[in-house]
Structure 1
Amino acid sequence: MSRFQVKKVAVLGAGVMGAQIAAHLVNVKVPVVLFDLPAKEGPKNGIVTKAIDNLKKLKPAPLGVADDAALIGQANYEEHLEQLRECDLIIEAIAERMDWKLDLYKKIAPFIGPNTIVASNTSGLSITKLSEALPEEIKPRFCGIHFFNPPRYMALVELINTPTTQASYLDALEGFVTSNLGKGVVRAKDSPNFIANRVGIAGMLTTMKEVENFGLTFDVVDDLTGKKLGRASSGTFRTADVVGLDTMAHVIKTLQDTLSIETDPFYESFATPTVLKTLLEMGNLGQKTKAGFFKKVGRDVSRFDLASKEYVPAGQKADEVYGRMLKKPAAERLKLLRNAEGKEGQFLWAILRNSFHYAAIHLAAIADNARDVDFCMRWGFGMKQGPFELWQEAGWLEVAKMIQEDIDAGRALCKAPLPDWVFKGPVAEAGGVHTPAGSWNPSTGTFAPVRLLPVYERQHFPESVLGANAPKAETAGKTVFEDESIRLWTLDDEVLIASIKTKMHAIGGGVIEGLLQAQELAEKGYKGLVIWSPDDMFSAGADLQGMMPAFIMGGAKAIEGAEAELQNAMLKLRYSNVPVVSAIRGLALGGGCELAVYSSKRVAAMESYIGLVEVGVGLVPGAGGLTYIARRAAENMALSTSKDVLPFLTEGFTAAAMAKVGTSALESRKLGYLLDSDIVVPHKDELLFVAINEAKALFTGGYRAPHKRSFPVAGRSGIATIRAQLVNMRDGGFISAHDFHIGLLIAEVVCGGQVDAGTLVTEEYLMAMERKAFCGLLTHPKTQERIMGMMSTGKPVRN
């Protein structure tokens, strides 16, 4: 099979999942056409049109930029099936009805191209049974593809083959889904609900059963089973509300219909919980109907009370003693919970024991190896660790004995003993299922290594499981320099990498010194410098906490010197003789945003949140952010026929004055923090690979630093125009008097002060204005209130 190129995708079914899958394809620049039934009234594409319009209203936003909804093609099965011939991939995402899906396959089969891959997005129907409706020539190109909701944000995609699926097509699809869609792919066996939903929904059901056993309330359970347990912050019941109680009920029904006590010893725990039945009968389906296990009215949250069938005030928290227990090392934590006298501790041990028990019993039937189960629970259910990882970390045989003792004593949910491989043989000898050689596959009795596909060569530090001893970015490569603030290192002796180590990667004196050293070293002996850190934080900005002692001791003058050093560092990076590439992932706020915009180029993961947010602490950007806005406005004006810079300044001023943050790399580009020439990378683990290669490409292409140029500013007339707008906002109650003051200072800097419109200025001139405004605000009582409020609560103070 030649290289699989996806030039166009068809998504069949404009429901919640289908429309959002189409939206994510648009996010990553894959042309897509969305199909559904012809509307009975009005335009034939009416169903699709409505679904696309709805994408703009959904939260969290399925589209990186709402206007990109217009890029989704619209089609219906009556008029447009010929368009399927142009598609390299067809994703069927209609309702979970086997008969409907089979009918649709018969309808589309004559229009499927000779090399097109066809995949069904189902959460649990048999892929093999679905394939039976397809002609023989299409069966090798058919498989299951299970996206998790919401598709843009959830990392997991399960791929499920049939006995007739050709391996080369599945490999090609895995490459596309990984690199182009940015997903973590797991190959699941064609068993009911596959891996993630089988383990995850069974876990939710057994959790609900234990809730009944211990008589706990939903809010207490969510407090216990959220972040404290290393799981999604939404806990158990709020997660069910987000997923949708009807969706959950469907997945439960799949378990009930396709399993039995003979095939699943936990089957008796799969009865639909009474509370879920009641909520479904009431039409309370969770977040989509604004009521489920919880109901929000204004700022108040209520929880459902089954006895009264009413909503009562929520907000109960678990006993703090269990929060402290959950912070203990894994082995100590599980022993404390197992021996706890209180029902909350006993409940926690019960649900963890059940998860270990269930995963071990079903591993052979649902997955190729234990690693796939743990990845599914991480990527599909937001767990910090999968069940096997936690079990192994706590001491494999010790925990296994505790589980088996509970089974023997009748305390577990089912009587089935743990499999023999748990206690003897390679797993027991290795101390767990994850080893450097691979993860346990009970079907073959071996430790299965990670699948080797070309796409994974783009991931220098892919996610790994506890026990695999995979290389860690923090210690990999060759260290050139390291201190408590920064590590300078290289993977190939060609490109230098700077990794910030401070808390939230805050930029203080040590980071500035490290970046200057990195730039100097890169110019002497490397093809480029890449600024990258191996977590979801590029930089949260300047180190305000570290700045305060200097301010208290020496006042604003002490801070002015530090600001000047930071600004000079930004200019050094901008005018470096080798390319400086910022590899952005997660937050790039304030000084982090400034560090990015002063780099030669930016490579950003899709989920990057970039912005100048200093207004939130009563300050103005002080490391060149406002200078950048003014310069970019002048550069954009130069590309037009206009001679007035103010219209090109408006968006940048508004973004800084309102502390706007791009909610995706695509929106950050609209705000001007990323350029059209910058690269958006769908998969976070490919970020470093792409950044290093961009630095090399720039160097090989004869990179030269940009010329230092003077540029025109809007001057006093621009300030007056912006001032009038700020007055209206203040007098209308949209901003406070202090916001007005800060906004006016921002306007004065980006417009170049009290000079004539069109006056040429330098970056240094504007940076001096920035410093003066920044340091002046530091002495303002209202700003000090905002800084102290942010440092103590982490939330902005409005004053």
Structure 2
Amino acid sequence: MSKRIIKKIAVLGSGVMGSRIACHFAGIGVQVLLLDIVPKDAETSDNKAARNKLVNDALQAAIKSNPSPVYTKDVVKRITTGNFDDNLKEIGTCDWVIEVVVERLDIKRSLYERVEQFRKPGTLITSNTSGIPIGMLSEGRSDDFKKHFCGTHFFNPPRYLRLLEIIPTKDTDPAIVDFLMHYGDLYLGKTTVLAKDTPAFIANRIGVYGMMAIFGLIDKMGMTIDDIDALTGPLIGRPKSATFRTADVVGIDTLVKVAKGVYDNCPQDEARETFQIPEWLNKVVANNWLGDKTGQGFFSKRKSATGEKEIYTLDLKTLEYGPRAKPKFASVDATKPVDDLKQRLKMLVAAPDKAGEFLRHFHYGLFSYISHRIPEISDEVYRIDDAMMAGFGWEIGAFESWDVLGVEKTVQAMQAAGYSVAPWVEEMLASGNKSFYKVEGGQTLCYDPQTKTYKPVPGGKDFIILSNFKDKIVWKNAACNVYDIGDEVLGIQWNTKMNSIGGDVLSGINKAIELAEKDYKGLVIANEGPNFSAGANVGMIFMLAIEQEYDELDFAIRLFQNTMMRVRYSSVPVVVAPHGLALGGACEMSLHADKCCPSAETYTGLVELGVGLIPGGGGTKEFVVRASDDMHEDEPETITLKNRFLTIATAKVATSAQEAFGLGIYRKGLDEVVMNQNRRVSEAKKSVLELSDSGYVMPLQRKDVKVLGRSALGALYAGIHGMHQAGYATDHDTVVAKKLAYVMCGGDLSEPTFVSEQYLLDLEREAFLSLCGERKSLERIQSVLKSGKPVRN
């Protein structure tokens, strides 16, 4: 692998992609030079602000966009702006130059000619193009330029979409390819996929085929946009934006452009006619209904007769908008209770109704297409799946879905329905290999059509998947599995709705710690799926509270508190590796772990105030402990406590793992952000071993926590009253906030006092129980259970 350090990069082009790529690099700590053209009206001006107006406006628009392209606002300081005329010479100080200008070959080549005047030999030079062959871009350049030139295709938005396609030319030094694959994975947090220099590369080739195939099916089967989006979203493990909403977000003109590009440039594609643009789609583009960028596309936001905003759907036959219609399919209703995606997929594809028929044709076409794309766009099966999961947000890849439905059975059904499969798939089955993937010794193996053998998927040791250790389960219950993940380390994960934490999960964590203390070096707590955990099982809390089973409720809260304290006070290290949502009780678990290894995209916070409760699993207690430790002579003690109080009282949620440090959830110098989500379990395991091998000693429970009593309680009550008077807090918000303040001040003490953690836990539990008896708290919980959002009462 090429040994090089990236300290500073240049991004040439500040449009939507360029500015956001710049933000992502700044977010990982790299200095960025962002350049663009001088506006025409400033070409003769000496005014620096005028000459840099285009690039500065683009950067500001990116920073203000939602979702944010940066982990924390302060990283923007690492970005310096300029223009091609005045500042291009500064690329001589950069280690990597990324070109992101308009998709025109002549403009890109002209810019590269200028870049060669200032670029240091050996500097990386890459293009983010998605529509021009990479090999054509470097024609006419020096040997050193060609050797260090490559395609690096980011997906928009670069912070959130985890795919980075690496597309070398015939002249690219293999060491450069290795470096980019590794750097993208480790530092940028990307799923780096090696792609061939073919039209639309991998993800867009497959993704746009899928959308165009659906456009064909919608006509044949007489279905509507609302039907399709109901069937091609989370139901089958795809994003909420499904098909047509995705087109609106991406831009319908962009979709059409990619489809035309494949049609024009892939004459040997057996499914080429699928990329023909339907007449109705040409009319949509002609009407300039391009999606979000023009205010309407397949969907349009309009005001109803009552003045409320409603979403209208385009009728593809009449090209008129009408109110959205909620589709009703018997198979969809039957699979709603099924949380397991793979089981649900099997049921849906086997269903006899119209939804089942559509999903069969959709999958048969997709499976046929991906089989024929090997080796055209990729030599490896897993690269296609990686690209679709990371670039299009699929929960499982296409070949993996094929495995779920049964490769041999599905091939027979496909052929009977008139769909072909590539010869290598038939050869694979004929040789007795019945799946594309299999797991051995905790490692994922993938079938290799070239050698006709199974090979390990790269990164197996770094990308630990807990469920791959099914043959190493040492204990399980209805919700949890505890695995031996090697090197004398245990791992626990659970599978509940939204990975919520109930009695079975708490029992599992306690058992896992007990087992680890007996025979292992430590424990990793992690989960698979989109989210780590949405927190405690509020449905259980609601049922106990509504039935006034207060003894049972008290027992449940004690169990939660005791489990979190067990996470903190065990004789072996316990490391938590959260990702996605880690809310409420999941956040409390992170607060109590010896170390946290969160994915960069972790959204965490103590959100209980939103449902009329306070953190009752030790979260309130832990914030008091940390406030006590942060108190110092240079600052009034109440300030530190007030900041912690406000974080809980306003139910703040960090929008990244980095932001969680600022909220006091993660600890600087101890907890460690993992850029690539796929590496978090591996990093957590390493942390367990480091803590254990360095002579881990179980900490002692704290009895020296300073609480401020009435001196702080009065100040917090005054603040709560002010928020209520100003209309920021409802009557019930005030009730809950005062309970929180009482606990965080240690109760109605006459003077500052040192107390134990158990003292605070008892106060926390009493307050939580009392709020479970409040009608308005129960109304909020019920609202969350019904709609996912708490009512403001």
Aligned equivalent of 1:600, options 579, 585, 594: 594
Distance in 2 separating the partners of 1:527 and 1:135: 55
Distance in 2 separating the partners of 1:583 and 1:385: 21
User: Structure 1 residues 497 and 389 mapped into 2: Cα distance closer, same or farther (>3 Å)?
Assistant: closer
Aligned to 1:465: none
Distance in 1 separating the partners of 2:518 and 2:564: 19
Q: Which moved more, 1:251-260 or 1:685-694?
A: 251-260
Distance in 1 separating the partners of 2:335 and 2:195: 35
- Give how far 1:245 is off: 1.9
Map of 1:563-578 to 2, 5 A cutoff?
563-578=557-572
SS of match in other structure, 1:784: helix
1:301 aligns with 2:307: no
Q: Contact 1:714–1:752 (CA<8 Å) still a contact in 2?
A: yes
1:649 aligns with 2:641: yes
SS of match in other structure, 1:539: coil
User: Structure 1 residues 385 and 323 mapped into 2: Cα distance closer, same or farther (>3 Å)?
Assistant: farther
Counterpart residue type for residue 59 of structure 1: N
Q: Contact 2:445–2:457 (CA<8 Å) still a contact in 1?
A: no
Distance in 2 separating the partners of 1:714 and 1:325: 53
Distance in 1 separating the partners of 2:497 and 2:211: 35
1:273 aligns with 2:278: yes
Aligned to 1:35: 35
Counterpart residue type for residue 10 of structure 1: A
Distance in 2 separating the partners of 1:290 and 1:513: 51
Count of residue correspondences = 770
Distance in 1 separating the partners of 2:572 and 2:483: 16
- Give how far 1:517 is off: 4.8
Aligned to 1:360: 371
SS of match in other structure, 1:676: coil
- Give how far 1:170 is off: 0.7
Aligned to 2:240: 233
SS of match in other structure, 2:200: coil
Q: Contact 1:396–1:428 (CA<8 Å) still a contact in 2?
A: no
Aligned to 2:394: 383
User: Structure 1 residues 170 and 395 mapped into 2: Cα distance closer, same or farther (>3 Å)?
Assistant: same
Distance in 2 separating the partners of 1:329 and 1:549: 28
SS of match in other structure, 1:430: coil
Distance in 2 separating the partners of 1:776 and 1:295: 46
1:475 aligns with 2:458: no
1:45 aligns with 2:52: yes
Aligned to 1:698: 691
1:460 aligns with 2:443: no
Map of 1:513-662 to 2, 5 A cutoff?
513-519=507-513, 522=516, 526-547=520-541, 555-638=549-632, 641-642=634-635, 644-662=636-654
Distance in 2 separating the partners of 1:253 and 1:226: 25
1:285 aligns with 2:290: yes
Distance in 2 separating the partners of 1:427 and 1:5: 48
Counterpart residue type for residue 654 of structure 1: L
Distance in 1 separating the partners of 2:176 and 2:454: 22
- Give how far 1:513 is off: 4.6
What whole-Å deviation, never above 9, does each CA across 1:330-368 have from its counterpart, x for those lacking one? 67754656xx5x5x5554443333223322333331111
Distance in 2 separating the partners of 1:588 and 1:551: 24
Aligned equivalent of 2:266, options 259, 264, 267: 259
What whole-Å deviation, never above 9, does each CA across 1:42-82 have from its counterpart, x for those lacking one? 34332222222122322222222234333323232223234
Distance in 2 separating the partners of 1:319 and 1:336: 10
1:188 aligns with 2:188: no
1:83 aligns with 2:90: yes
- Give how far 1:241 is off: 0.7
User: Structure 1 residues 427 and 102 mapped into 2: Cα distance closer, same or farther (>3 Å)?
Assistant: farther
- Give how far 1:190 is off: 1.0
Aligned to 1:317: 327
What whole-Å deviation, never above 9, does each CA across 1:590-626 have from its counterpart, x for those lacking one? 2221121122221111121211121233211112211
Q: Contact 1:478–1:491 (CA<8 Å) still a contact in 2?
A: no
Distance in 1 separating the partners of 2:430 and 2:57: 53
- Give how far 1:399 is off: 3.4
Q: Which moved more, 1:310-319 or 1:769-778?
A: 310-319
User: Structure 1 residues 563 and 431 mapped into 2: Cα distance closer, same or farther (>3 Å)?
Assistant: closer
Counterpart residue type for residue 616 of structure 1: G
User: Structure 1 residues 735 and 427 mapped into 2: Cα distance closer, same or farther (>3 Å)?
Assistant: farther
Distance in 1 separating the partners of 2:29 and 2:780: 40
- Give how far 1:556 is off: 2.9
Aligned to 1:449: 455
- Give how far 1:628 is off: 1.9
Q: Contact 1:421–1:428 (CA<8 Å) still a contact in 2?
A: no
- Give how far 1:201 is off: 0.9
SS of match in other structure, 2:580: strand
Counterpart residue type for residue 592 of structure 1: A
User: Structure 1 residues 143 and 430 mapped into 2: Cα distance closer, same or farther (>3 Å)?
Assistant: same
Aligned to 1:17: 17
- Give how far 1:238 is off: 0.3
User: Structure 1 residues 551 and 426 mapped into 2: Cα distance closer, same or farther (>3 Å)?
Assistant: closer
Distance in 2 separating the partners of 1:26 and 1:734: 35
Aligned to 2:717: 723
SS of match in other structure, 2:70: coil
User: Structure 1 residues 537 and 646 mapped into 2: Cα distance closer, same or farther (>3 Å)?
Assistant: same
Aligned to 1:670: 662
Q: Which moved more, 1:120-129 or 1:536-545?
A: 536-545
Counterpart residue type for residue 310 of structure 2: D
Aligned to 2:141: 134
- Give how far 1:123 is off: 1.7
Q: Contact 2:226–2:325 (CA<8 Å) still a contact in 1?
A: yes
Q: CA RMSD in A?
A: 3.1
What whole-Å deviation, never above 9, does each CA across 1:666-687 have from its counterpart, x for those lacking one? 2222211112221100112211
- Give how far 1:584 is off: 1.6
1:744 aligns with 2:748: no
Distance in 2 separating the partners of 1:538 and 1:796: 21
Q: Which moved more, 1:263-272 or 1:129-138?
A: 263-272
Counterpart residue type for residue 737 of structure 1: D
- Give how far 1:405 is off: 4.4
Extract unaligned runs of 5+ from structure 2.
Answer: 43-48, 303-307
Q: Which moved more, 1:112-121 or 1:189-198?
A: 112-121
- Give how far 1:508 is off: 4.0
SS of match in other structure, 2:86: coil
SS of match in other structure, 1:570: helix
Map of 1:389-408 to 2, 5 A cutoff?
389-407=400-418
Distance in 2 separating the partners of 1:346 and 1:554: 48
Aligned to 2:305: none
What whole-Å deviation, never above 9, does each CA across 1:219-272 have from its counterpart, x for those lacking one? 222112222333222121101011122322332232244233xx2243333233
What whole-Å deviation, never above 9, does each CA across 1:688-724 have from its counterpart, x for those lacking one? 2211222333344444536735243343243333323
Q: Contact 1:224–1:318 (CA<8 Å) still a contact in 2?
A: no
Q: Which moved more, 1:429-438 or 1:355-364?
A: 429-438
Distance in 2 separating the partners of 1:34 and 1:201: 31
Aligned to 1:467: none
- Give how far 1:191 is off: 0.9
1:753 aligns with 2:747: yes
What whole-Å deviation, never above 9, does each CA across 1:453-488 have from its counterpart, x for those lacking one? xx6532223xxxxxxxxx834525462x44345444
Map of 1:54-203 to 2, 5 A cutoff?
54-203=61-210
SS of match in other structure, 1:582: strand
Distance in 2 separating the partners of 1:636 and 1:26: 29
Aligned to 1:688: 681
Counterpart residue type for residue 135 of structure 2: T
User: Structure 1 residues 527 and 334 mapped into 2: Cα distance closer, same or farther (>3 Å)?
Assistant: closer
Distance in 1 separating the partners of 2:57 and 2:407: 52
Q: Which moved more, 1:526-535 or 1:619-628?
A: 526-535
SS of match in other structure, 2:111: helix
Seq. identity, %: 35
Distance in 2 separating the partners of 1:127 and 1:198: 16
